[in-house]
Every structure is written in C-alpha cells, then in structure tokens.
C-alpha cells in the first residue's frame, strides 16, 4: 500500500485519517460542519482573493460569461454556501442505522449496521462550491475525501481546503480527512482512479466526457452520475394541455441540468398535437431537431432543423430538443431504452394500461407518468442533500442521499457458538 506516488500517499493518509472519523458521534460531526460553515465566512477575504486569481485567469482564457459567473465567489455567496453547510449539518445522520437484524435459532444476534465507506474520491469540474459540498457530504457521512477539482478553480479550491483543514484541526480531527490532489494534474487523477484498496468509491461529477473517462479508466468502484438524455413521450391518449405543460417544463424550466428533457417523442396518433407543441417550444427559443415525419407534421407551425442520427443520443443541455414520431408505445419504449441514458423518462397519457406498460418496460432510474422530468432530484425526493444522480444500476440508482456514500457491516454477537453439522459446498468454495 505504500508508494512513492504523492497521490497514493495522500489516499493512504486519507484511509488512515478516516478511522478517526469512524467512531465520532453524530453531534461531533455536526459540530464539525457548523465549524466549517463559520470558518468559510470568517475566511471570506482570503477565499475571495484566491478566487480572484482563478477569475482573472478564466477571463484571460476566454471563459464564457456563464461559466465565469459560476466560478466567481463573493462574501455573499460564501454566506450562502455556509448556510448550505448548516443545512447538511441539520440532516439526519445515516450512520449507525440498523438496516436489518435478527436472532438466529442458535441465539446468535445479527445486526446489519450502516457504517462509513472510508475514503470517497470526488472528481469534478469548475465550480468551487462543489469543493465545499463534496467535503461536507463526505464528512457528515463519516468519510474522508480526496478531491480533484477543475484546474480553472485551483486557487479557490486550495484556499477552501486550507480553511476546512483549520476547522478540522479545531475539532481535534486530522486535516487529512479533506485533501486535494489538484496540483498533480491529470496523471494524479488517473492514479486516484487506480488507488483500489485505499479509495472505496469514486464519484465523478461533471460532463459526459469526464464521467466516461472515469468509468473507463477506474479500477476503484465508480458511481456513474449525472448524464441525462431524458425523454418525454406523448401517447395517443395524452391530454393536449398537459402534454404541452409537461414538455415545456421538462425542456425549458432549466436547460443545463441532467433532468432536463432532450427528446420529445410523439405517438403517430397524436401527431396532430405536434404543431401546437412545436410552436410553444419555438416560442420559448427552443431549436427543434426534428425527424422527417415530425417536420412534416409540424409544417409551418414552427421552424425546425433536420435531426441527425447523433441528435437522438445527445444531451444538449441547451435550448435544443430532438423531436420524433413513433408508431406506438412499444416503439417509444424501444427508442428510449436504446438511446436514453437511463436517467429520467416520462409518458403523458390518459390510458392506465399504457402508463403501467411504460413504467414496467422503460429501464431508467426514474420513470414518470404525467409529470415533468425535472422532479428527479434528491432534495425534492426527500433524500436531503444530493450527492449526485446515479444512472447505473449498482449500489444506488437515481438521486443519491447521504446514505448512498455509506456501506453496511454485519455485527454478529454470540456466546461461544460454533458451527456444526453440514459441511457441504459453499458459494465461495474454490479448492
């Protein structure tokens, strides 16, 4: 486990530090979080100064105004970030929860108990508030965290990690519970992806390219998050007004997020609804990438561009939408299962059989009947803070709360019981 690599040394230090957090009480971890909130506000000046370096560099590198705005920290924004930390502190503690328990016939007591993962790795992109968010969610759930942020926010992240380190030290905890590997660049990130045995889980947060790289490269278990090629399917029996409200909200309420809709599919028998739907979308500034049949159905109601093959697989994250007509419900399900990212897909229908069939066959984290795709959200689902939205099937699927960066262990307590009798095959018998 020892190595000359600084990143592996950091991961090893995180693993070692994590044992100090493992047995802290809920109160101690919450106090730590309140301390971090206070420290962020108290050190606003140095954080904003460090952030100014990143903003200046961003301007010089031609960063878009939107990204620059999201990169920028001000004392007011730090107050808001501190408030968010206090909200996490106030959430219920996932640790120590007894998930299952029983007493075996021989008197052995079994308890399956929720415990920390150990070390969580987070690889993410520009926004410096994610640094605070990731650190605080990890600490609340009893984990050490190794952070790899975007280089565009490197100065801000370094200062934020230093400030959090001060709060850790003040609480009598090792500063190695929150560490950054930003200075080791891309190679450092790759080493983190291979730190199996030191890092228990890696959560990439960012664009599709980042996430796919981590998924492909990593030998540490990964939770794939956040890519949403979401669909709204307007069934033959859809209420026209409801279809319009849902597609407009799913597409335009907020475009740069994973639960925004990227494809509209319309049942051939509801194609007459397309002109109205298209006009509404176009009226909101949406560019419609429409199939040939859809363009025909839309006619002069709204401008369209021809859909390319790639459009069906694209998470636009912009005021663009792919629009297609499908023969029937099963064709819609097949299209979604083939082209979707397994995030959130919705049907608008008045037909109870169609609704049931859609929910039974669409293989996504969230399958929605008669509501906007925008509802897939840890906060709205009542999970508290959101770590991310998992689009994989292992461990966690859909919005992830604090419990999703914990694991469980079986505590078995006896009075000297030994196993006798049966000595037949076992699933792990190998010799």
Footprint of a second copy on 234-253 (CB under 8 A): 239, 242, 245-246, 248-250, 253
Binding test (CB under 8 A) with a second copy, winner from 47, 181, 372, 402? 372
Is 359 near a second copy (CB under 8 A)?
Answer: yes
Segment interacting with a second copy, rule: CB under 8 A, options 34-42, 113-121, 154-162, 164-172: 113-121
Q: Is 360 in the site for a second copy (CB under 8 A)?
A: yes
- Give which of 347, 344, 13 is closest to 174, Cα–Cα: 13
Dist. CA 157–CA 128, nearest whole Å: 6
Neighbours of 151 (CB within 10 A): 16
Binding mask 249-288 for a second copy (x = CB under 8 A): xx--xx-xxxx-----------------------------
- What minimum distance in Å lies between the beta carbon of 317 and a second copy? 5
Closest distance to a second copy from the beta carbon of 300 (Å): 28
Please identify, using beta-carbon distances, which residue of 52 and 113 lies nearer to a second copy: 113
| Cβ–Cβ < 8 Å for 395, 404 | yes
Give the interface segment with a second copy, choosing from 270-278, 299-307, 321-329, 419-427 (CB under 8 A).
419-427
Residues 2-61 that bind a second copy (CB under 8 A): 19, 22-23
- Residue 369 in contact with a second copy, rule: CB under 8 A: yes
- Shortest approach of a second copy to residue 211 CB, angstroms? 9
423 binds a second copy, rule: CB under 8 A: yes
Residue 48 corresponds to which tokens in the numbers above? Answer: 């904003």
* Residue 15 C-beta: closest distance to a second copy, Å: 9
Q: What angle do CA 368, 373, 379 make, to 5 degrees?
A: 100
Among 90, 98, 104, 284, binds a second copy (CB under 8 A): 104
Taking CA atoms, 275 is separated from 108, 237, 280, 302, in Å, by 68, 17, 9, 7
- Token readout for 110 is 């079994």
Q: Which is nearer to a second copy, 184 or 381 (CB)?
A: 381
Q: Which is nearer to a second copy, 231 or 295 (CB)?
A: 231
For position 426 contacting a second copy by CB under 8 A, the verdict is: yes
Contact predicate 122/388, CB 8 Å: no
**Six token digits for residue 373:** 């795709």
Query: Could you say whether residue 425 binds a second copy (CB under 8 A)?
Result: yes
CB of 275 to a second copy, least distance (A): 21
**Of the residues 117, 152, 271, 321, which one makes contact with a second copy according to CB under 8 A:** 117
Strand, helix or coil for residue 344: strand
What is the rounded distance in angstroms from the CA atom of residue 383 to the CA atom of residue 380?
A: 8
DSSP letter, residue 110? E
CB of 238 to a second copy, least distance (A): 10
Nearer to a second copy, 272 or 411 (CB): 411
Q: Are strands 144-148 and 119-124 parallel, antiparallel or unpaired?
A: parallel
Distance between CA atoms of 226 and 203, rounded to whole angstroms? Answer: 10
Q: What gap in Å lies between CA 156 and CA 129, rounded to an integer? A: 9
Q: Which of 94, 188, 206, 340 binds a second copy (CB under 8 A)?
A: 206
Q: What are the b/e assignments for 268-289, b being 16+ CB within 10 Å?
A: eebbebbebbbbbbbeeebbbb
């Amino acid at each position: 486990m020892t190595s000359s690599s600084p990143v592996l040394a950091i991961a090893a230090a995180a693993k070692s530090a994590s044992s100090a957090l493992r047995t802290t009480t809920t109160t101690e971890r919450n106090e730590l979080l309140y301390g971090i909130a206070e420290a962020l506000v108290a050190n606003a000046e140095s954080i904003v100064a460090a952030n100014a370096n990143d903003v200046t560099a961003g301007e010089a590198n031609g960063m878009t105004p939107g990204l620059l705005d999201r990169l920028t920290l001000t004392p007011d924004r730090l107050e808001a970030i501190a408030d968010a930390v206090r909200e996490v502190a106030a959430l219920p503690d996932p640790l120590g929860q007894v998930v299952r328990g029983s007493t075996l016939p021989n008197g052995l007591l079994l308890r399956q108990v929720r415990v920390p993962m150990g070390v969580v790795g987070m690889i993410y992109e520009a926004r410096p508030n994610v640094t605070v968010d990731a650190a605080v969610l990890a600490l609340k759930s009893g984990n050490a965290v190794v952070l790899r942020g975007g280089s565009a926010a490197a100065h801000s992240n370094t200062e934020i990690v230093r400030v959090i380190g001060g709060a850790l030290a003040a609480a009598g905890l090792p500063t190695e519970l929150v560490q950054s590997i930003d200075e080791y660049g891309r190679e450092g990130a790759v080493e983190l992806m291979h730190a199996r045995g030191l890092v228990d889980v890696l959560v990439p947060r960012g664009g599709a390219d980042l996430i796919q790289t981590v998924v492909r490269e990593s030998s540490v278990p990964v939770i794939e998050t956040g890519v949403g090629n979401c669909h709204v399917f307007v069934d033959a029996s859809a209420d026209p007004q409801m279809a319009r409200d849902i597609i407009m909200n799913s597409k335009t309420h907020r475009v740069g997020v994973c639960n925004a809709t990227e494809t509209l599919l319309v049942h051939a028998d509801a194609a007459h609804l397309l002109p109205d739907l298209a006009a509404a979308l176009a009226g909101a500034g949406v560019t419609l990438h429409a199939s040939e049949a859809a363009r025909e159905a839309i006619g002069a109601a709204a401008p369209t561009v021809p859909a390319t093959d790639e459009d069906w697989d694209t998470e636009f994250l912009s005021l663009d939408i792919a629009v297609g007509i499908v023969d029937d419900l099963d064709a819609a399900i097949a299209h979604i299962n083939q082209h979707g990212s397994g995030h959130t897909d919705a049907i608008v229908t008045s037909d109870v059989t169609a609704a049931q069939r859609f929910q039974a066959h669409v293989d996504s984290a969230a399958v929605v009947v008669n509501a906007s795709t925008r509802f897939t959200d840890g906060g709205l689902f009542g999970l508290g803070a959101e770590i991310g939205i998992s689009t994989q099937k292992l461990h966690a699927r859909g919005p992830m709360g604090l419990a999703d960066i914990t694991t469980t262990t079986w505590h078995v307590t006896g009075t000297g019981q030994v196993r006798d009798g049966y000595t037949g095959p076992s699933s792990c018998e190998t010799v």
